[in-house]
Chains A and B, each alone.
Chain A
Amino acid sequence: MRSSSPIALIVKYVILGIVDAVAVWAGVGLVMAANYGLLAMLAIGAGALNVLVLSKRAYPFRYLAPGLAFLFGMVVYPILYTAYVSLTNLQTGNLLSKDQVIQLFEDRYAAAPDQETFTYRAFLDDHESLVVLLIDEITDREWITSEGDPDLVVVDRSDPQFEIDEFGALVGISGLSEVTGLQRYQILSRLETLAFPYGEEYLRLSGLNAFKTFIRRYAFDWETDLLTDLTTGMVYTPIDGTFTADDGTTLEPGYQVWVGGRNFGSLLSNAAMRKDFARVFVWTIVWSLMSVLLSFSVGLGLALLLNDRKLRLRVIYRTLLIVPYVMPVFISALVWRGMFNAQFGIVNRIFQSLFGTTFRWLDDPMLARGVLIFINVWLSFPYMMLISLGALQSIPDQLYEAARVDGAGMFRRFWRVTLPLLMISLAPLLIGSFAFAFNNFTLIYLVTAGRPAVLGAATPAGATDILISWTYRIAFQGGSGNQLGLASAVSILIFAIIATISAIGFRLTKRLEEVYK
């Protein structure tokens, strides 16, 4: 449909103009922050948007634009970034970039032996550049220096640019305005970045009112890539993102470097980690399969019951059965955790009075897994019930009539007519549910946090940990700080596994569609 009205045309171009302006503004900000990855994404996104709106051939695709934009920004970009991080050694101690770390080292000053103190007065010139007058109170010597030219120049009071009053006090410098009053606090952030060379030492701001002498502790040589400790003379080479001396001592912090496939290698080569990975992987598959199959069975069973027009009060049943689905998972998961508490939970109270025994629900590995599957089924069956109810409506009654005429019993009708036709529409949803359960971090974390612990585990992998919660524990609860590079590698593996399973699943459902044909 062509927008022929002139007002519509103007509105379209104005909105495009505003979006382009915002994109350029954001782009400038990204260039200043040197974030080129996001800049590339932004350029592609804005460019694509312009093509969509302005090109006649691409115009019909405009309804896809928001969805594609979000897909790109919130799915594709994080995946690419995670893949990038998995090839680096990002972890506690190697969090910053090389430039940031070198800057940190070069900004480390130690108080000079026999530290001298100078008071100061600050002035601003017409270009808002700082000029500092340094006064040695003991000897009354004065120097003048500036932000642009840090060399100290001795003040010659007879020079006409210095305005001296009748008491001999220096009241001003011509062409410069003194920084006084509250404005002094505003320039502190600029003053503290200055370091004026003073012989072998440096003069730096120390406190609100003084400059003191400091010595620089480190010097970095960009050509040889070596960091030298000026006080001890030790030379450090960057190895794997950490500055290491010949005798093995290291400096912290380190920085993030490219390590290639090392994270993946350690995942697959470390025997104990492989064992943990295998156990967690098997449990994740079992967990997802059981959750989907059981909740689907329960949901479908209830849907078949509710589909019977002869049942009364159907609406009330349906409303009550939806409740687990609409309650926020955070609340219901925590309530279930309290109910299954071995000592004080209500489930054990009931068991005690009915059967005389209690079970350590969340403390025994097998029981904990069973409880988790039970809770997930409780949370998911309303969804399965709803989609089954919907899909059941799409099966024409004539097929049932024909089957009944042919002498098929209830079970036969279900197995041969209902289920295959349901699968056509529901199979993609079931695969989606499987993928959701595969990555259902929330439920595992809230109810058991991956515990109970397993004797003999090399990484933080408990009995109920699924791949994603295991990744989280490696990343943030690992033994030697946050190992984000390793966790990213595990995330990429999980992504590969789920992508493969989903691809296979979709292939299989395509074959199911042959039933109709």
Chain B
Amino acid sequence: MKKLLALLVLVSLVGVVAVAQATLTIYADDTRTPLLRTIGEQFTAATGVAVDVVEFPWNDLRTNFITATQAGEGPDIVIGAHDWLGELVSNGLLEPMDLAGRLSEFDEAARSAFTTGNVLYGMPYGTENLTLIYNKEVVPTAPETWDDVLEIMRAQYDPDLPMYGLAFQNTAGNFYQFFPMLSAAGGYIFGFDENGVYDPCDIGVANAGAVWGAKLYQDMLNEGILPASVDWDTLNALVAGKNVAMVITGPWLLNAIKEAGWDYGICKIPPILGIDGEYHQPKVFTGVQAFMVSSFSENKTLAFDFLLNYIATEEVMAEIAVSGSRIPTFLPALPSTPADLAAFADQAQYGVPMPSIPAMASVWQEGGNALDLINNGTDVASALGQAYNLIRIAVGCE
């Protein structure tokens, strides 16, 4: 028995000290994993280094990356959205991205979305933003102003079919989709200070413009022409059954729209009449996605080599962006973007990059709650005012 034990212990100890081959580990989501695996094979053929792409659902990527990296088991490269930047950088999990003099090949706005504290942390590959998609069978020409939109909504409204003129996700927690309404007349999230950096204590979610826009939204709800309680599944159902003429959504819904057989057109969200009697263009959040390198990676040189020489090429960057219905941020890949994706760029000009400072988490939370209260009929000014106060507390201003 003792001899058996000793033998087994010796055998296991040898296994523990085994030599490991260099492997590059990448965390990606289901849309991009197949492409990364193909390129990984090319990399392995050229360098002899194995590439292991681990797939996660998009919503689990961030938490898995944080937990694994903290435990020392993290990947070398991870795909992510720029609003994760605040949390990942404040936890010290990202390595500054060295683009080796190829900065000019990447879109400047996308680069700045991934820059914090004057350091670039990601290699951006795609951007996304909300815009208006309309069904040409019902709405032959793109609406010019928000008054046209209201007209269409009133004309199309039929609760029995049901048929609606416009729909967008407006259940509690969809502050992202609610922002265009607030921003048209002057609402904003965080203002900028003199240095052009976000000032988290300058919060504009409850200013006059935001209240105006939210009131307009609430009036549409009360009139009934804008459907309430529209979540992701409901929006998909409305689109699939052609029960809605126009949707304010992002490129992620395009597949469902095509499958439903819409003859769709894409235009920017029409300008809304503001407090001052002028028409203002609603602004939307732009989201940027990029490759990031972990600061705990033991293969940083290999990771940068992989990203710069195998990923940052015209064909690969174009395919990675378009396969996920995003607009490429790699400038040489832009000309090959399909026309419908390129139409998103009209609205993207009026885009605001989502601030990636950690205080943003409280904005989503409290903004979502404010939308919830507004949906339930609470006075708009107090709902937005509560969000304003709570964000201020969460950010820690005075």
Does A associate with B in a complex?
yes
Residues of chain A whose beta carbon lies under 8 Å from any beta carbon of chain B: 13-14, 17-18, 20-22, 24-25, 28-29, 32-33, 92-93, 95-96, 100-101, 104, 182-183, 185-186, 188-189, 191-193, 205, 207-208, 252-253, 338, 341-344, 360, 362-364, 449, 451-453, 455-458, 460, 462, 476-482
A88 to chain B, nearest CB (A): 14
CB-based contact A479/B229 at 8 Å: no
Closest to A17 in B: B4
The digit string for B302-332, where 1 denotes a CB below 8 A from any CB of A, is 1011000000000000000000000000000
The digit string for B187-229, where 1 denotes a CB below 8 A from any CB of A, is 0000000000000000000000000000000000000000111
A47 to chain B, nearest CB (A): 14
How many Å lie between the Cα of A449 and that of B364 in the bound state?
15
Closest to A345 in B: B229
Neighbour of A453 across the interface among B16, B48, B172, CB < 8 A: B172
**Known contacts A92-B90, A479-B393; is-contact A182 B361 (Cβ 8 Å):** no
Q: Is B349 an interface residue (CB 8 A)?
A: no
How many Å lie between the Cα of A100 and that of B74 in the bound state?
14
**Known contacts A92-B358, A188-B22, A207-B301; is-contact A364 B376 (Cβ 8 Å):** yes
Instruction: Give the chain B neighbours of A95 by CB distance below 8 A.
Output: 66, 70, 91
The digit string for B81-112, where 1 denotes a CB below 8 A from any CB of A, is 00000110111110000001000000000000
CB-based contact A208/B305 at 8 Å: yes
Q: Which of B6-14, B150-158, B265-273, B281-289 binds A?
A: B6-14
Instruction: Give the chain B neighbours of A449 by CB distance below 8 A.
Output: 172-173
Neighbour of B358 across the interface among A189, A363, A480, CB < 8 A: A480
CB-based contact B8/A21 at 8 Å: yes
CB-based contact A186/B22 at 8 Å: yes
User: What band does the interface of chain B fall in when counting residues whose beta carbon is under 8 Å from A?
Assistant: 35 or more
CB-based contact A479/B362 at 8 Å: yes
Chain A to chain B: the 3 pairs with minimum beta-carbon distance, closest first: A479-B394, A479-B362, A253-B92
Binding site secondary structure of chain B: helix
How many Å lie between the Cα of A20 and that of B4 in the bound state?
10
Instruction: Give the chain A neighbours of B8 by CB distance below 8 A.
Output: 17-18, 20-21, 24
Closest to B2 in A: A17
**Known contacts A182-B48, A363-B376; is-contact A188 B386 (Cβ 8 Å):** no
CB-based contact B394/A344 at 8 Å: no
CB-based contact A451/B22 at 8 Å: no
Instruction: Give the chain B neighbours of A362 by CB distance below 8 A.
Output: 229
CB-based contact A479/B47 at 8 Å: no
Q: In this complex, which of A21, A32, A207, A342 has the most chain B Cβ atoms within 10 angstroms of its Cβ?
A: A21
How many Å lie between the Cα of A32 and that of B5 in the bound state?
21
B384 to chain A, nearest CB (A): 12
CB-based contact A93/B366 at 8 Å: no
Instruction: Give the chain A neighbours of B86 by CB distance below 8 A.
Output: 481
Instruction: Give the chain A neighbours of B138 by CB distance below 8 A.
Output: none
Q: Is B382 an interface residue (CB 8 A)?
A: yes
Instruction: Give the chain B neighbours of A455 by CB distance below 8 A.
Output: 373, 378, 382-383, 386
Interface residues of B in 355-394 (CB under 8 A from A): 358-359, 361-362, 364-366, 368-370, 372-373, 375-376, 378, 382-383, 386, 390-391, 393-394
Instruction: Give the chain A neighbours of B396 by CB distance below 8 A.
Output: 480
Closest to A33 in B: B72
CB-based contact A451/B301 at 8 Å: no
How many Å lie between the Cα of A331 and that of B8 in the bound state?
48
Neighbour of A96 across the interface among B92, B228, B372, CB < 8 A: B92
**Known contacts A252-B89, A479-B391; is-contact A189 B229 (Cβ 8 Å):** no
Residues of chain B whose beta carbon lies under 8 Å from any beta carbon of chain A: 1, 4-5, 8-9, 11-13, 15-16, 21-22, 47-49, 63, 66, 70, 72, 86-87, 89-93, 100, 162, 172-173, 227-231, 233-234, 237, 295, 298-302, 304-305, 358-359, 361-362, 364-366, 368-370, 372-373, 375-376, 378, 382-383, 386, 390-391, 393-396
Neighbour of B228 across the interface among A343, A453, A462, CB < 8 A: A343
How many Å lie between the Cα of A24 and that of B11 in the bound state?
11
Instruction: Give the chain A neighbours of B89 by CB distance below 8 A.
Output: 252
CB-based contact B12/A343 at 8 Å: no
Instruction: Give the chain A neighbours of B173 by CB distance below 8 A.
Output: 449, 451
CB-based contact A185/B48 at 8 Å: yes
Instruction: Give the chain A neighbours of B364 by CB distance below 8 A.
Output: 477
Binding site secondary structure of chain A: loop
Instruction: Give the chain A neighbours of B87 by CB distance below 8 A.
Output: 92, 481-482
CB-based contact B70/A96 at 8 Å: yes
B206 to chain A, nearest CB (A): 14
B371 to chain A, nearest CB (A): 9
**Known contacts A25-B12, A363-B229, A479-B393; is-contact A189 B376 (Cβ 8 Å):** no
Closest to A24 in B: B9
CB-based contact A477/B90 at 8 Å: no
**Known contacts A17-B8, A480-B394; is-contact A344 B299 (Cβ 8 Å):** no
B295 to chain A, nearest CB (A): 6
Instruction: Give the chain A neighbours of B21 by CB distance below 8 A.
Output: 186
How many Å lie between the Cα of A357 and that of B300 in the bound state?
63
**Known contacts A21-B9, A344-B234, A363-B229; is-contact A479 B91 (Cβ 8 Å):** no
How many Å lie between the Cα of A304 and that of B372 in the bound state?
44
Closest to B21 in A: A186
How many Å lie between the Cα of A66 and that of B5 in the bound state?
22
CB-based contact A479/B12 at 8 Å: no
CB-based contact B301/A338 at 8 Å: no
B93 to chain A, nearest CB (A): 8
**Known contacts A207-B100, A360-B376; is-contact A101 B234 (Cβ 8 Å):** no
How many Å lie between the Cα of A476 and that of B67 in the bound state?
13
B71 to chain A, nearest CB (A): 9
CB-based contact B13/A28 at 8 Å: yes
Q: List 9 A-B contacts (CB under 8 A).
A: A20-B8, A28-B16, A183-B48, A188-B299, A253-B92, A343-B230, A455-B382, A479-B393, A480-B359
B287 to chain A, nearest CB (A): 19
Closest to B368 in A: A453
Instruction: Give the chain A neighbours of B227 by CB distance below 8 A.
Output: 343-344
How many Å lie between the Cα of A148 and that of B91 in the bound state?
32
B267 to chain A, nearest CB (A): 26
Neighbour of A93 across the interface among B12, B91, B372, B395, CB < 8 A: B91
